[in-house]
Structure 1
Amino acid sequence: MSIKTQDYAFIRNKLLNKEEIALLDVREEDPHAQEHPLFAANLPLSRIEVDALSKLPKKDVPIVTLDDGEGDAQLAAQRLSDLGYSNVAVFGGGVKAWKAAGGEVFKDVNVPSKSFGELVESKRHTPSLSAQEVKKLLDDEADVVVVDVRRFDEYQTMSIPTGISVPGAELVLRVPELAPNPKTRVIVNCAGRTRSIIGTQSLINAGIPNQVNALRNGTIGWTLAGQELDKGQSRKFSEVSTLTANEAAQRARSVADRAGVKRATTADIQKWQSQKDRTTYFFDTRTPEEYEAGHLPGFRSVPGGQLVQETEMVAPVRGARIVLCDPSGVRANMPASWLAQMAWDVYVLDGVNMSDLTETGPWQPPLPSIPSSKAVDAKTASTWLKNDSGTVFVDVSTHAQYAKGHIPGSWFALRSQFLNALKKLPKADRYVLTSTTGELATFAANEIQALTAAEVVVLSGGNKAWVDAGLELEKGSTRLASPPLDRYKRPYEGTSVDPAAMQAYLDWEFGLVEQLGKDGTHHFWVL
């Protein structure tokens, strides 16, 4: 089957007209982060089967795959066509052709959200304090509360002294009880800039009576000022009273109404879940723990702060409809107010009762039918590991998952780079493929078998089945047959980042508003 090609004018037209388009950069995350168009969502070739059905729910949505001439775009387009997508094209000439046509390219990840955050600050002059000013307030034991709006795992890695974990969408609900005295100053921080700007402005937009400031440049700014961060903290927000929750709901609803957020009913949801001519995403924006305790069927767990920060990771179809659900209202209305300003067609589901939340447990991504392949159970595989020197274990999980824990002696290899990985892997009579829960290995097995004369066998249930069988994993970034291109090293993560890289990142963020102006396809506006 021949795949058609599309050009810069086609994509730009779709974006300018607010029509549905999925521009998918199918390279691994690191090359994607080096340069890509503003609304090119990263959906690596190696993960298409496990991610496509949840991220691209409508089979005839216009999809254009993009690489930089490596050939991944053609392979990805074919793979998507095989999954039943009927309107797939390749962007002719890759990123080089995009630039040659006059298209703006952006560095880093989650660029639509980060550039929007910078636009908000430039328009609203969001108040901020330097790291030195915040440290002096803390040293003087001033009446301040520091709230960290990142994910809890990011907060635990490093945090501002005294900081409390309050992920972004929770702020308007939780801050009134963390700082009940209106004279208490609230300091909002993240790792860099975006989430602290959005968090600070959320509290201001919602009319919280306290003085609110962003910590300018977040933990990066703190580190560049030569100040010590805490590590391994576990301070979290607590539950709030009914009175506080009701007041927060009114504040959040008011902000959403001012931003033009639309309202949806359960009847709308039933209609949209079966609608064929429109892409709709259904997100539950509460904490993962609340979601697992009970949620609406068909809704995916995406905490609201991260949704605003990483929208294209879960909603790569620009121009799609997004529906948010939170029975309390606050964690849906506040993120919805931001998504509306980012020019999404966004709705909040009203009238949800706790008794409607009939599904429990974590979100399960929809998967295509699993191809047949040779398989082995964990117990048998463990005897091969001990007794058969001709068997080599290869893990095609993400590098982050591999480093967190892998089968002893196994090698890390990227599915998209497997031909090159074979040159580094030990010669084997048999390769046992594994991944975190096994699906990715199963989808990769047949194409990998075509690359080698050795037998290729999949570990049933992957590394999870290995652990469930009582077998040990080892940790660390050992035995890499592929470079870890699937993860871009963010200059704001971890505690051992070069200060020059941190400063370069801040300089890049400051330049985003100018880049937005050059790009001109975003339709962003600021309340």
Structure 2
Amino acid sequence: MANIISAKDLNGLLHGKSKFALIDVREAGEYNSSHIADSSLIPRKELEFRMDVSAPVKGELLVICDDDGRRATLAAATLESMGFNNVSVLSHGINQWSTEGFPTEWGSNVISKDFGERMEVEHHVPEIEATELHERIERGDKLVILDTRTPEEYQRFCIPGGRSVPGGELALRVTDITKDLDKDTTIIVNCAGRTRSVIGTRVLQRMGWTNIFGLKNGTSGWLLAGYDLETGGDRLGLPEPSEDGLAAALEYADRLAEEDGVRYLDVDTVQSMLDERKEKTCYFVDVRTTEEYAAGHIPGFRWFPGGQVVQRSDDVLVVKNCPVVFCCDGKARATFIASWYRQFGFEEVYAVDGGSTAWAASGRQLESGSGDAIPSGLEAARGQVNMVSPQELDAAKPASVICVEISSDFAAGHVSGARWVPRGSLEMEIAGIAPDKSAAIAVTCNNGQNATLAGATLKEMGYQDVSVLEGGIAAWRQAGLGVEQGLSGVMRPPTDIVPSGPERNFADMMNYLRWETALGEKYAAD
């Protein structure tokens, strides 16, 4: 049974140096609207998928919060079933926190966004308006546009002609990307909004590049100016670092380490820390590309692309006041990321000296593969439910079919007649859809995993005839069975996603950009 923590006591923890995690288990849209500063968003439906990495030591204090305490209590029970033994629930949730006068904030990944705005103000990071960039493109000016988002984001939409260079790769690759360009070519850095554009441009500024600009407000600013985005961009290739490119990156890394206080660990020390990782919380993060990580990484290091590590520090360092160790194949990229974390204000930040190359040279084995783990409790859950094929589900015609994936996936395609039930609030909503616990109910999701866990929950609630679609909607489609699209049967606006890019309406884009810009106003006042 989880403990209860008051708002006053939680506030004391947040202002101290104790090791603990504050985890908000609501949906992304709810969190974006209002949350406690320095909390990490891990929606309840993702606990089994993320917590073993987010909180690797089972005995660390976990404080769980939501709006009123109900979902947090359910989440605490899940965590205790996973072996976490020091779990507390915020009394009456954020509602009580606010009632007692403690502050909240809105938005997501606020730490990095606030930092980006500070960088722009303090270092006068150069930027260019979308209208001016469009004019330069139309004139045929010498330009190279570098998109520092993830390759997946880039492929969804990008500035026409832009190429993908994820933020964590920028300093390592920029010399070789530009080596054949005329010296008077202008470099434009962009993201979807502001933060990664500012940070990427600041990287180049600090490296000594001069003819550079960040695209003000990124692809959002481009859309607001009335211009079209390109979809399906295929300029994804990254050049292998040449001797000159690597030398420039290492010179920059050495300077960052000295100026920002990045400390290095040899592989023997890293081995000792890894040996203690079940007793002492420490985060081990490999910041290379996914292909490099899969080819061979130090066992115990998780993959998190470098640019996103900077953008999403609250998703990386879930347990507060703990060390973090970054790794690449040498030391350049790990140093780049470590320097940002030092600038954020994190104290125990390290890079592996020599990275995975030094690890292998010491005679230690590298591990291959993506590192994806089986969600906690999945195998046990499979034993509690009846797994059915698409053909069997199609023939069975159960009384109720539910989908427990995010609302956008439900809208993209679901079994005809299915109802959407967020897995995070399944226990609170299912009675309104399937009141008869003796009637057959089928659970679906994208690939079968979330549905299996949800099906086990229904069995524990007393539902007698629970089946789960094996392989999820992906298998259903592959079997040639039709799907229904749209938010059919959804009676209220979903709160589980935060629209981004072209999915936002213009008013939402403007509000978001105003919020980001306002974060920097306090630094301008100084």
- TM-score under structure 1 normalisation? 0.88
- 1:259 alignment partner in structure 2: 260
Equivalent residues of 1:422, 1:481 under 8 A apart: no
2: CA distance, partners of 1:272 / 1:466: 45
Is residue 502 of structure 1 aligned with residue 509 of structure 2? yes
Equivalent in 434, 446, 455 of residue 444 of structure 2:
434
Equivalent residues of 1:307, 1:335 under 8 A apart: yes
Amino acid at match of 1:423: G
Equivalent in 358, 362, 370 of residue 366 of structure 2:
358
1: CA distance, partners of 2:280 / 2:520: 31
Equivalent residues of 1:193, 1:218 under 8 A apart: yes
- 1:420 alignment partner in structure 2: 429
Higher deviation after alignment, 191-200 or 51-60? 51-60
Correspondence 1:353-502 to 2 at 5 A? 353-354=356-357, 355=360, 358-365=366-373, 367-369=375-377, 370-372=379-381, 373-378=383-388, 381-390=389-398, 392-403=400-411, 406=414, 410-418=418-426, 419-424=428-433, 429-451=439-461, 453-460=463-470, 462-463=472-473, 474=483, 476-479=485-488, 485=494, 487-490=496-499, 493-502=500-509
1: CA distance, partners of 2:459 / 2:384: 10
Equivalent residues of 2:385, 2:455 under 8 A apart: no
- 2:218 alignment partner in structure 1: 218
- 2:518 alignment partner in structure 1: 511
Higher deviation after alignment, 337-346 or 269-278? 269-278
Deviation at 1:305, TM superposition (A): 0.3
Equivalent residues of 1:81, 1:88 under 8 A apart: yes
- 2:309 alignment partner in structure 1: 307
Equivalent residues of 1:152, 1:167 under 8 A apart: yes
The superposition leaves residues 95-130 of structure 1 with CA deviations (integer Å, 9 ceiling, x where unpaired) of: 233334443311122122211211221222211111
Shift in CA distance, 496/447, structure 1 to aligned 2, threshold 3 Å: closer
2: CA distance, partners of 1:236 / 1:28: 32
1: CA distance, partners of 2:507 / 2:130: 17
Equivalent in 333, 348, 351 of residue 348 of structure 1:
351
Amino acid at match of 2:453: F
Correspondence 1:199-218 to 2 at 5 A? 199-207=200-208, 209-218=209-218
The superposition leaves residues 475-522 of structure 1 with CA deviations (integer Å, 9 ceiling, x where unpaired) of: 8445455867463323xx2425322221111111122246899xxxxx
Correspondence 1:3-82 to 2 at 5 A? 3-8=3-8, 10-82=9-81
Higher deviation after alignment, 22-31 or 415-424? 415-424
SS at match of 2:502: coil
2: CA distance, partners of 1:14 / 1:252: 35
Deviation at 1:194, TM superposition (A): 0.5
Unaligned runs of 5+ in 1: 518-527
Amino acid at match of 1:326: C
- TM-score under structure 2 normalisation? 0.88
The superposition leaves residues 413-461 of structure 1 with CA deviations (integer Å, 9 ceiling, x where unpaired) of: 2122324244246978322223344333333323323446451123455
2: CA distance, partners of 1:101 / 1:182: 59
Shift in CA distance, 357/433, structure 1 to aligned 2, threshold 3 Å: farther
Correspondence 1:66-105 to 2 at 5 A? 66-105=65-104
Shift in CA distance, 516/186, structure 1 to aligned 2, threshold 3 Å: closer
Unaligned runs of 5+ in 2: none
2: CA distance, partners of 1:288 / 1:473: 34
Deviation at 1:228, TM superposition (A): 2.5
Shift in CA distance, 343/14, structure 1 to aligned 2, threshold 3 Å: farther
Equivalent residues of 2:385, 2:456 under 8 A apart: no
Q: Work out the number of aligned pairs and report it.
A: 510
Shift in CA distance, 348/409, structure 1 to aligned 2, threshold 3 Å: farther
Q: What is the root-mean-square deviation in Å for CA atoms of aligned residues?
A: 2.9
Is residue 120 of structure 1 aligned with residue 119 of structure 2? yes
Shift in CA distance, 476/343, structure 1 to aligned 2, threshold 3 Å: farther
Equivalent in 272, 291, 307 of residue 293 of structure 2:
291
2: CA distance, partners of 1:509 / 1:163: 24
